[in-house]
């Protein structure tokens, strides 16, 4: 069996890869592993369980709740809430475990299970590995030891979660949003109620699209992966700007008043300068991945800020932030982590802080985002090659060196083998789009000949 846990929990097609039996079994295994680790010692264990609005989340939630309760864990069902809300409530309610059912920005047929440790933090890799191995042991052999009588877990609905989370978000804001007109695209997802409520309570005039989840329409032509509707709505309503979330609202992308996209790099740049001004950008450092636009790096250097770059994936950004005590990090895709106020990427929080900066400065989002110039970026996927030889091919190494010499300090080359497919990603940035296309095309040809 391949590893169940990926970089963001267990994910797959609901009722095909991710079945009710798997959800139940993993939940029981998680309860046993955390009990072994001493997490439940001296008290009756409690778990917070939430989900996004996907239809499959209904039966998967039932399976997770059944698994946890059968293992003696009391369950608080918080219903449809964003991933960062479930993480926050896990910490705020002093729960031993949090479980979120969501496949984030994936299409509706997919779903996923993400576990949070006490405090709302991502479960350590070694605990995920242990859960997987314990699940597999019991799936193929020994029966579980199960409590009986009063030892079984009790299940309650916890209906205060939305208000509690929104109050937390409002409490973080440095200033109100009065006078701003903002369009929110909720991707028919988990933030359909939370985000409009938070922005309105903070004083903004709110126009919502993509906020009628029916279990089947999540991420369907809307949200952070499809900005066309938001761009049109911002221009039509003459709004100050727009904010788009994904299905579980751990991401935020924006659109300025002209309808132009403001990506995660630009959002990070705006927030970094705001946080430095307020004295909350620890070590004057921002954490981002190697996929961040070179324009972001140049902008941060120009502003006297340090940039730490990690491997691709918000988990690596978070690891670096925790290890070194940094306050702000994120990805071009809109995962932004503000560690003083959240344990994971929080799209609603990010959008609110972006709006607060616009309100505080009186400047447009387009003006604020202009602190960085996005350099043209060309990405070519080269399929059917031996991705394991990217670092050992002399021919490819020489071609990359030639390309880097040609681009100089205003360009960049990044070759990344895919972690899951037999392909290599060739990414080239340059001040000129034609040069970027030319260099990327040549490198893709060398990848084919050297690794094919």
Token output for 25: 């079994």
Catalytic residue (one of 56, 102, 104, 393): 104
> Cα(151)–Cα(179) distance, rounded to whole angstroms?
54
Closest CA to 82 of 271, 353, 365, 335: 335
> Strands 253-256 and 261-262, how do they pair?
antiparallel
Burial pattern 360-378, b for ≥16 Cβ within 10 A else e, equals: beeeebbebbebbebbbbb
> Strands 306-310 and 285-289, how do they pair?
parallel
> Cα(115)–Cα(135) distance, rounded to whole angstroms?
14
Which DSSP category does 120 fall into?
A: S
Token output for 270: 């705006």
The label of the residue with tokens 């344990």 reads 343
Cα→Cα distances 41→96, 135, 261, 363, Å: 10, 21, 49, 53
Residues in the chain: 452
> Cα(116)–Cα(135) distance, rounded to whole angstroms?
17
Q: Is 309 exposed, middle or buried (0-12, 13-18, 19+ CB in 10 A)?
A: middle
Number of alpha carbons in the 13 Å side-chain half-sphere of residue 324: 22
Annotation marks residue 393 as catalytic: no
Contact 113, 47 (CB under 8 A): no
The residues, any chain, with a CB within 8 Å of residue 209's CB and separated by 6 or more, are: 183, 184, 185, 186, 222, 229, 230, 233
> Strands 423-429 and 377-383, how do they pair?
antiparallel
Binding residues for Mg(2+): 104, 246, 248, 250
> Cα(101)–Cα(103) distance, rounded to whole angstroms?
7
Instruction: Report, as residue numbers or ranges, the catalytic residues.
Output: 104
């Amino acid at each position: 069996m391949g590893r169940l846990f990926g970089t963001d929990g267990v994910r797959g097609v609901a009722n095909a890869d991710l079945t009710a039996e798997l959800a139940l079994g993993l939940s029981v295994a998680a309860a046993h592993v955390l009990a072994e680790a001493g997490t439940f010692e001296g008290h009756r264990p409690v778990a917070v369980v939430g989900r996004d609005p996907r239809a499959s989340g209904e039966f998967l939630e039932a399976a997770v709740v059944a698994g946890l309760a059968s293992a003696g864990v009391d369950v608080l069902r918080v219903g449809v809430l964003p991933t960062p809300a479930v993480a926050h409530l896990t910490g705020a309610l002093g729960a031993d475990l949090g479980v979120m059912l969501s496949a984030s920005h994936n299409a509706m047929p997919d779903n996923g299970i993400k576990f949070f440790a006490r405090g709302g933090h991502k479960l350590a890799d070694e605990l995920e590995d242990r859960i997987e191995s314990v699940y597999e042991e019991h799936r193929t052999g020994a029966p579980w030891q199960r409590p009986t009588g009063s030892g079984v877990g009790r299940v309650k609905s916890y209906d205060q979660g939305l208000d509690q989370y929104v109050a937390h978000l409002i409490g973080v804001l440095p200033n109100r949003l009065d006078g701003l007109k903002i369009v929110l695209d909720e991707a028919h997802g988990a933030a359909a109620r939370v985000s409009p409520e938070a922005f309105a309570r903070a004083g903004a005039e709110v126009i919502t699209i993509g906020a009628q989840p029916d279990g089947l329409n999540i991420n369907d032509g809307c949200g952070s992966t499809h900005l066309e509707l938001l761009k049109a709505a911002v221009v039509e309503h003459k709004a100050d700007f727009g904010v788009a979330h994904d299905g579980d609202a751990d991401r935020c992308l924006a659109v300025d008043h002209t309808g132009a996209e403001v990506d995660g790099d630009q959002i990070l740049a705006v927030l970094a300068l705001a946080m430095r001004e307020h004295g909350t950008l620890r070590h004057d450092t921002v954490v981002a991945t190697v996929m961040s636009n070179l324009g972001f790096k140049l902008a941060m250097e120009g502003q006297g800020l340090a940039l730490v770059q990690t491997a691709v994936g918000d988990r690596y950004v978070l690891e670096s932030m925790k290890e070194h005590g940094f306050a702000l990090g994120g990805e071009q895709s809109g995962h932004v982590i503000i560690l003083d106020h959240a344990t994971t990427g929080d799209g609603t929080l990010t959008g609110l802080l972006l709006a607060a900066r616009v309100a505080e400065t009186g400047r447009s989002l387009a003006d604020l985002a202009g602190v960085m110039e996005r350099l043209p970026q060309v990405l070519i996927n080269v399929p059917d090659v031996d991705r394991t030889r990217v670092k050992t091919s002399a021919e490819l190494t020489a071609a990359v060196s030639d390309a880097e010499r040609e681009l100089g300090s205003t360009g960049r080359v990044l070759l990344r083998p895919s972690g899951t497919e037999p392909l290599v990603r060739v990414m080239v940035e340059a001040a000129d789009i034609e040069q970027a296309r030319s260099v990327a095309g040549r490198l893709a040809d060398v990848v084919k000949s050297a690794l094919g």
